[in-house]
Amino acid sequence: MGRRKRAPIAFYLCVLFLLSIHFVKIAGSSDLERDRIARLPGQPPVTFSQFSGYVTVNEKKGRALFYWLTEAVGNAAEKPLVLWLNGGPGCSSIAYGASEEIGPFRINRTGASLFVNKYSWNNEANLLFLESPAGVGFSYSNTNSDLKTSGDERTAVDALTFLVRWMQRFPQYKHRDFYIAGESYAGHYVPQLAKKILDYNKPLAKPFINLKGFLVGNAVTDNHYDGIGTVAYWWTHAMISDKTYKTILAQCNFTNTKNSDKCDDAVDYAMNHEFGDIDQYSIYTSTCGSAGGNATRRLRLRGTVIRRRSYGYDPCTESHAEKYYNRRDVQEAMHANASGSIRYKWTACSDVLIKNWGDSQFSMLPTYRELIGAGLRIWVFSGDTDSVVPVTATRFSLNHLKLVVKVRWYPWYAGREVGGWTEIYRGLTFATVRGAGHEVPLFQPRRALQLFKSFLAGSHLPKSRPHAH
């Protein structure tokens, strides 16, 4: 009996390759099902799928980022994916974006149950909320020093690593139309991540992450122009006196990262003696009645660290989130902190990260110019009752891009009311949202949803109110 012929090496390599694909698919499917949320405590019935869990972005340091995916209501497979990032730096996209702004649920005052947000952006897209960087919310690092050395560059690199690895776990989103959205200090995170994605895609025949564009609200953009525009807002909205306004302009050098003591004193005087007890993120709405137990955020006014209470239209909504996400049954349902790596209370913002933020890009305008040149759809919006990153700051900054106007300033409508005003430039659309504070979808959810729909469609905001039937 003759010896059997051996199959060629190429045959074995082909088999091994097919087996590897098979096992990767099995592993990916297993990870996906492991991350599926069956139901959150106190959650009303819904028709869409939810997933949450961790993606390791740096094995050596032990950095892992936490995400929450709420798929679209109806035809999820045909709708785009939108990544939402909150700012701070050091604040949670789950506390704010998911639970107060664009997510499908709101948290009741007791922190015991959830109710549906009928203006959720997951009516139009699949929403991916990311707690970034490590140290924010449920995201963590096993290297404690990481929390004191965070900055813009590492945040962007880790977010890109997260997306690549997350899409390997959720391959149905590879090559899907993808957008990034966010607010406040995400005015840094969003364009910086967009640039990283474009660089990552350059050598590829087909974009792995099919980035189409981004939108940012009340966005930190340029330290110099933001600073001048912020003080101008305070004065034009009667929050400060003529004398204080002139003193700040005379003593504060908005091009420096650190201001003089006289500048700091003038700003402190404005805040402590002239602002009064208002919500600086929404100057015409009520504050939370109790001063105790409210989380805080900080804003850097060109080197001056300003501590501010953070509220929402339900003025105490942030405290509801902290009640809910510190419940052990909620964490178990969301697959959060399963390994016990987080030994501290979940908070909406991380004081450690805010105090120790490292590199911060002085101006995002050069990055905007590059991204406009790449042909991305870029929208910048601004709630007009925010005094922290106000509409004047954004307009001062964007004006220095010197873009060509395509469609002149006009009022846009949401329903039968003016939703705000907009101007369309070659490469960028700017829109205000009337009566909205820093967290635009919290204060004006219907108007924010109309803005989001128009952005996704690549169409102009409505120029007239709908006709009555």
List, for residues 384-412, the tens digit of each pLDDT value.
999 999 999 999 999 999 999 999 999 99
Whether residue 101 lies inside any domain: the answer is yes
Q: What is the pLDDT of residue 314?
A: 61
Average pLDDT over residues 44-51: 96
* Annotated catalytic residue within 132, 139, 184, 454: 184
Task: Please answer whether residues 150 and 356 qualify as being in contact, where contact means their C-beta atoms are separated by less than 8 angstroms.
Answer: yes
What is the predicted pLDDT for the residue at 464? 84
Least confident of 209-218, 242-251, 266-275, 282-291: 282-291
Is residue 333 domain-resident? Answer: no
Q: For residue 153, name the pLDDT band (cuts at 50, 70, 90).
A: very high
pLDDT at 336: 95
Q: From CA 297, how far away is CA 286, in angstroms rounded?
A: 18
Report how far residue 31's alpha carbon sits from residue 9's, in angstroms, rounded to the nearest whole number: 33
464 as an active site residue: the answer is: no
- Looking at the fold, whether 286 and 365 belong to one and the same domain comes out as no
Is residue 345 included in any domain, yes or no?
Answer: no
Q: Does residue 344 lie within any of the structural domains?
A: no
Strand bridging mode 177-183 / 81-85: parallel
Same-domain check for residues 307 and 393: no
Per-residue confidence (pLDDT) for residue 306, from 0 to 100: 38
- Do 251 and 400 reside in the same domain of the chain? no
The answer to whether residue 434 is domain-embedded is yes
Based on the domain organization, do 306 and 379 belong to the same domain? no
**The predicted structure's pLDDT at residue 430:** 98
pLDDT at 467: 66
Residues 293 and 189 in one domain: no
| pLDDT score of 339 | 74
* Active-site entry in 386, 387, 397, 454: 386
Q: How many structural domains does the chain have?
A: 2
Output the CA torsion 402→253→89→221 (10° steps). 0
Share of the chain above pLDDT 70, in %: 87
pLDDT for res 317: 74
Determine the average pLDDT of the residues in 268-283: 94
451, pLDDT greater than 90: yes
Co-location of 283 and 209 in the same domain: no
Check whether residue 239 and residue 213 sit in a common domain.
no
Is 260 one of the annotated active-site residues of the chain? Answer: no
Q: Are 173 and 35 found together in one domain?
A: yes
Residue 153 lies in a domain: yes
Mean pLDDT over residues 283-312, rounded? 48
Do 192 and 260 sit in the same domain of this protein?
no
Q: What integer is the mean pLDDT of 369-394?
A: 98
Statement to judge: residues 73 and 110 lie in one domain: yes
Looking at the fold, whether 33 and 46 belong to one and the same domain comes out as yes
Print the SS3 string covering the chain: CCCCCCCCHHHHHHHHHHHHHHHHHHHHHHHHHHHECCCCCCCCCCCCCEEEEEEEEECCCCEEEEEEEECCCCCHHHCCEEEEECCCCCECCHHHHHHHHCCCEEECCCCCCEEECCCCHHHCCEEEEEECCCCCCCCEECCHHHHHCCCHHHHHHHHHHHHHHHHHHCHHHCCCEEEEEEECCHHHHHHHHHHHHHHHHCCCCCCCCEEEEEEEECCCCEHHHHHHHHHHHHHHCCCCCHHHHHHHHHHCCCCCCCCCHHHHHHHHHHHHHHCCCCCCCCCCCCCCCCCCCCCEEEEEECCEEEEEECCCCCCCHHHHHHHHHCCHHHHHHCCCCCCCCCCCCCCCECHHHHHCCCCCCCECHHHHHHHHHCCCEEEEEEECCCCCCCHHHHHHHHHCCCCCEEEEEEEEEECCEEEEEEEEECCEEEEEECCCCCCHHHHCHHHHHHHHHHHHHCCCCCCCCCCCC
Q: Of 317, 347, 375, which residue is a domain's last?
A: 317
Same domain as 444, residue 422: yes
- Predicted confidence (pLDDT) per residue in 310-343, tens digit: 333 466 777 889 999 999 999 999 999 887 777 7
Query: Is the pLDDT at 295 greater than 50, yes or no?
Result: no
Position 281 confidence tier, pLDDT thresholds 50, 70, 90:
very high
**What's residue 310's pLDDT?**
34
Question: What would the pLDDT profile of 432-448 be if each residue is shown by its tens digit?
Answer: 999 999 999 999 999 99
* Burial of residue 37, with CB atoms counted within 10 A of its CB: 0-12 exposed, 13-18 middle, 19 or more buried: middle
Give the domain extent around 286.
Answer: 224-317
Active-site entry in 120, 279, 438, 454: 438
Query: What's residue 28's pLDDT?
Result: 52
CATH number for the domain harbouring residue 234 = 3.40.50.1820
Contact indicator for 218, 440 with CB cutoff of 8 Å: yes
Q: Verify whether residue 329 is a known catalytic residue.
A: no
Residue 396 included in any domain: yes
The answer as to whether 243 is a domain residue is yes
Residue 179 has pLDDT above 50, yes or no: yes
Would you state the pLDDT for residue 29?
A: 61
| pLDDT, greater one: 292 or 96 | 96
Mean pLDDT value of segment 150-179: 97
- What is the per-residue burial (b if ≥16 Cβ within 10 Å, else e) of 302-334? bbbebebbbbbbbbebbbbbbebbeeeebbebb
Give the pLDDT score at 2. 43
